[in-house]
Amino acid sequence: MKSDVFFVPEKGADIRARLSALLTLLRRIEKDLPYAKDEFIPVKFTIGDSRCIYNIHPEMVKPIIALIKKKKAKPFLFDTNVIYSGQRQNTVDHLNLVQNKGFGAYRIGAPYVIVDGIFGQDGKEFSISSDYIKKIKVPSFITMLDSLLVLSHVTGHILTGFASSLKNVAMGMVTRATKLAQHSSIKPHIIKDKCTMCGYCIVACSVRAISAKSAKAVINQEKCIGCGECICACKFDAIFIHWEDDDDLSTGLPMRAQVDHPDTFDGGVLFAKRMIDVAGFVLSKFKHKFFINFAFDITKECDCISTKTDPIIAKNIGILASSDPVSLDIATLDLINKENPQFRTLRPHGVCNKMLDYAAKTKLGNSKYNLIIL
Ligand code: SF4
Ligand code: SF4
C-alpha cells in the first residue's frame, strides 16, 4: 500500500516564494484536515534554540493557523521543555524565547503552550509494548484530543543523521523522563590525546558531569544523562560515543555483547528504534493526524543545537505533507538524497534508513508513497 505525499518544490528561498509554496500546499490539503467547530487543534512546533536562526519562520506558521481558524476550530502551538541547557529547559525562559523569536499569539494568531509543566516533569505514565523502551511519560492532553498537526523543520541530526516528523513527535511530545529514556545509556567518553582542555564541553553540560582532571576533561558517567551536548561543543573531535555500550532491553544484554547481530548492533539504531516506538505510542492516541515537513535550510545539526554558523548540508527541497509520517519522512529523505548524493555519506551512516525501515516494519506508516507534485 502507498500513502499520498504532497510536494511543493522550492521555487525561491525568500519568504514570499516560500509563502506562495505553502499556500499552494494548504489549498490542496485543506479538505484532508477534518477539524470540527470549536475543536482544540494542537499544532506541534518547535521554535529552536535561542542561537538557532534556521527554524521555520513565524510568517510560515500564520497561514496554517489561519486555515484551522477558518474551519472555526481552536488551534494552539505547543512544545515541551528540553533536557539540555538553554532557554528551553524550563517553561518561563521558554515562553520568553517564544516571544523573542516572534511566535507570540498576537503575531501568529494562536497561543504557544508548553505542555509538560514548568520543568518538563508533568504528564501521565504508560507502560508500552516495546523491546527497546518499557515506560513512557507524555503530557496529559495527548490522551484527550482527537486531532494533531505536526510542523517540522527538516535537518541533520547528531545521532540519527536526519531529523523530521518522527523525531519531532518522539522527542518533542514526551516529558523529560522519556527524553532521557530514549537517550538511555548512550554516553560519551573523552579521547585524552585530543583534548586541549578548552573547557567548552564543561560549559555545555547542563548537569555538570564534566570536570577537569590532570589537564584533561573527564566525564562522570553516573551524572551524564546522554544528551550529546558536549559532542557538539567540542571542536577537537575529542568526545566520542561507545555505541556498543548501550543496553538492549529485549535481551537485557549490553550492546557490546551483541556485535554478532548486525540487525540490532549498528550505532544509533537502538536510539532510533526507541524513538520510533515512542512516536508510535504517541501517535496512536490521535484519530486525525497530519504532518508538514519544511525541507529547506537543512543544517547539519537539528534546531535544538544549530547556530548561525552551522553548515547547510543539503540543497533546499521544498515543502511536503502527508497523513502518514513514515511515507512523509521517507519521501523527504529520498528527495534530499536525490539532490544531494553526499547527504547519505554524512555521519552517522545509515541510521536514518534503519530508523525508517523499522517505522514501516512496526506499521507506523507505509514505506511506499505516491509523490503528488503540486
Ligand atoms: S557529559 Fe555530555 S552527554 Fe553527558 S550530560 Fe553532559 S553534555 Fe550531556
Ligand atoms: S570541548 Fe573537547 S577539547 Fe575542549 S575540554 Fe572538552 S573534550 Fe577537551
SS3 labels along the chain = CEEEEEEEECCCCCHHHHHHHHHHHHHHHHHHCCCCCCCEEEEECCCCCCCCCCCCCHHHHHHHHHHHHHCCCEEEEEECCCCCCCCCCCHHHHHHHHHHCCCCHHHHCCCEEECCCCCCCCCEEEECCCCCCCEEEECHHHHCCCEEEEEEECECCCCCCCECHHHHHHHHCCCHHHHHHHHCCCCEEECHHHCCCCCHHHHHCCCCCEEEECCEEEECCCCCCCCCHHHHHCCCCCEEECHHHCEECCCCEEHHHHCCCCCCCCCCHHHHHHHHHHHHHHHHCCCEEEEEEEECCEECCCCCCCCCCCCEEECCCEEEEECCHHHHHHHHHHHHHHHCHHHHHCCCCCHHHHHHHHHHHCCCCCCEEEEEEC
Q: Let me know whether 212 and 118 are in one domain.
A: no
Residue 126 Cα to chain centre, angstroms: 21
Q: Say yes or no: CB of residue 230 within 6 Å of ligand 1.
A: yes
- Tell me how far CA of residue 127 lies from CA of 124, 131, 277, 360, in angstroms: 10, 12, 12, 22
177 within some domain = yes
- Same domain as 215, residue 114: no
Instruction: For residues 30 and 122, state if they share a domain.
Output: yes
What's the structural domain count of the chain?
2
Quote the pLDDT of residue 157. 80
Domain that residue 30 falls in: 2-182+266-373
Looking at the structure, tell me whether residues 299 and 207 fall in a common domain: no
Residues 328 and 278 in one domain: yes
Dig out the grid coordinates for 252 from the structure: 537485557
Q: From the alpha carbon of 204, which atom of ligand 1 is closest?
A: 7
Indicate whether 292 belongs to any domain: yes
Specify the CATH number for the domain of residue 218: 3.30.70.20
93/85 Cα distance (integer angstroms)? 11
Reference 89, options 42, 49, 58; nearest CA is 49
136 & 215 share domain: no
pLDDT at 313: 84
Which pLDDT value is given to residue 185?
57
- Ligand 1 atom with the smallest distance to the CA of 226 is 3
Would 225 be classed as within a structural domain?
yes
Q: How far does the centroid of ligand 1 lie from the alpha carbon of residue 212, in Å?
A: 14
Q: Are residues 347 and 369 in the same domain?
A: yes
The parts of the chain modelled with pLDDT lower than 50 are 244-267
Name the residue of 216, 220, 239 to mutate for ligand 2: max ligand atoms within 8 A of Cβ: 239
What are the Cα distances from residue 117, in Å, to 75, 124, 139, 167?
20, 12, 8, 21
Considering the domain architecture, whether residues 75 and 170 belong to the same structural domain is answered as yes
Residues 303 and 323 in one domain: yes
Alpha-carbon span 163 to 302, nearest angstrom? 7
Do 154 and 219 share a structural domain?
no
Residue 153: inside a domain: yes
**The pLDDT value given to residue 255:** 43
Q: Which atom of ligand 2 is nearest to the CA of 196?
A: 3
Task: Evaluate: CB of 204 within 6 angstroms of ligand 1.
Answer: yes
Is residue 249 one of the residues assigned to a domain?
Answer: no
Ligand nearest to the CA of 238: 2
Is 198 found in the same domain as 178?
Answer: no
Q: Where does residue 1 rank: exposed (0-12), middle (13-18), buried (19+ CB within 10 A)?
A: exposed
- Measured from the CB, is residue 196 less than 6 Å from ligand 2? yes
Same structural domain, 31 and 107: yes
Nearest to 47, CA basis, from 12, 83, 82: 82
Is any ligand 1 atom within 6 A of the Cβ of residue 161?
no
The closest of 281, 182, 279, 187 to 226, measured between CA atoms, is 187
Sign of CA dihedral 176, 178, 180, 182: negative
Helix 269-284 with 165-172: angle, nearest 10 deg = 80
Q: What is the CATH number of the domain that holds 361?
A: 3.40.50.11440
- Give yes or no for a contact between 80 and 314, defined as CB atoms under 8 angstroms apart: no
- d(CA 300, CA 313) in angstroms, rounded, equals 6
Q: Which residues, in sequence order, are bridge partners of residue 140? A: none
Q: Is the CB of residue 45 less than 8 Å from the CB of residue 61?
A: yes
